[in-house]
Structures are given as structure tokens and as C-alpha cells.
Amino acid sequence: MIAKLLTLALLCASALAAEKPNLVLIIADDMNWDDNGAYGHPKIHTPNIDALAKGGMLFEHAYLTANSCSPSRASIITGRYPHNTGAEQLHWPLPKESLTFVEQLKASGYYTAAAGKWHLGKDVVDRFDDVFEASTAGFILPTGADKKSGKMIAKSPSGCEDWLSTLQNRPKKKPFFLWFAALDPHREYEKDAFQPPHKSDSVRLPPYV
């Protein structure tokens, strides 16, 4: 699927998009910044992500000051330090009055969509044109069920299956911003979900452990 996503992303350039580049932000819980080939990990192979990175931009000096899911997302989408977002604690929703960079992109003519894990609360879901939300508990939500805002929810627990359809069904005459958030790297929510666990000799420990 990621290969198809990559192909579509590379083929969707237009005169408008040349002036306003298409933007894809991929977020994953419990995944270190260098847990992929693009940043030089010796054992984790991510050829499609590497290809996207090669044709795009690498963040080499980007830092978050929160160590949990929702405060980090709130910080990214607002551009504020976590303690200034009003959602500095885990599971706190982003306040309705929050200004995000998504509004700025929409004002500049971008189509905006989010797919996968949301975890920012209900008050700012309307900042995107479309949101395909996966369950943060890892359970499948009813396929195609409408939310009150008219948005569609995810077809799979991770939400990744919606990445491709979101890209395919976007307005073709607009540049786009896609916020893709995967649940897949997140540790399981249930005890002993992995049977058997990873073998110790197959795991590369960081030098600070």
C-alpha cells in the first residue's frame, strides 16, 4: 500500500502544486526518530519511507518537549510548547479556540485531510476538510459510519488503509496537506499481545539504555 501511496504522491504534481507543494506529515506513536532507513537505522528497512524522504524534506532539528501522545500532537499542530496549548496532559482535548496551521493552509487554497489516530479531541476536528479517525484503543470502528460533523471514520484500527483512499479521492485541482497518523508502532494495549516477544538478539538497544 505504501508503494502505491508513494507512486500516487509522485504522479500527482500539477502546475498549481508546483507553486504550492503538496505536504504529507506522517506521525507514529512509540517510534523513535531514527527507527527508519531514512535516518540511518542499520536494521529497520523502510524503502518507501526512504524514497519519500529522498524526494522531500528531512526534519533534522525538530524537537518536542512532551513525552506522550496527545500533548505532542497538540504541540505539532499549533506550533506551541505543550504547556501553552491548553492540552498539556495526556488525553486532554485541544481547546476550540486553538489556532492551528491547518487553517492557514486552507486559507491558502489547500485541501486538508487527516487519517489514522486523531487524539486531539472533538473541538478542532472541523479544522480539516476530512478526518478518517481510527480508534485509539486499537479496535475496528464501524466501517463508513458518519460522525455528526459529516466526517467518515476509519476502515481499520490503524487508519493506514485510509491513507491511500484519502490521497486518491482528494480534489485534484488543489494542493493538499495530509496528516497521516499510524497506530501500528504503538505498543499493544492488551497484556501479552505479542506471543512470543521479540528475541533479544534481534533488538538493537540505543546506547543510552
Residue 197 counted as domain residue: no
69 assigned to active site: yes
What mean pLDDT is reported for the chain? 79
Q: Up-side HSE of residue 164: CA atoms within 13 Å toward CB?
A: 12
Residue at 191 is within a domain: no
Contact 120, 73 (CB under 8 A): yes
Q: Tell me: the pLDDT tens digits for 18-45? A: 589 999 998 888 888 889 999 999 888 9
> Of 168, 184, 181, 5, which is closest to residue 77 (Cα–Cα)?
181
12 is catalytic: no
pLDDT class for 162, splitting at 50, 70, 90?
A: confident
| C-alpha gyration radius of the chain | 18
State the Cα–Cα distance between residues 32 and 186, nearest whole angstrom. Answer: 11
Q: What percent of the chain has pLDDT over 70?
A: 73
pLDDT greater than 60 at residue 143: no
Of 12, 45, 119, 186, the active-site residue reads 119
**Which among 12, 41, 69, 198 is annotated as catalytic?**
69
2-11, 27-36, 102-111, 170-179: which range is least confident on average? 2-11
**Which helix or strand (DSSP H or E) is residue 112 part of?**
strand 111-117
Q: What domain range is 105 assigned to?
A: 2-63+100-184
**Number of domain units in the chain:** 1
Look at residue 86 and tell me if it is in a domain: no
Q: What is the pTM of this model?
A: 0.74
The predicted-structure confidence for 69-120, as pLDDT tens digits, reads as follows: 899 999 999 999 999 999 999 889 999 999 999 999 999 999 999 998 888 9
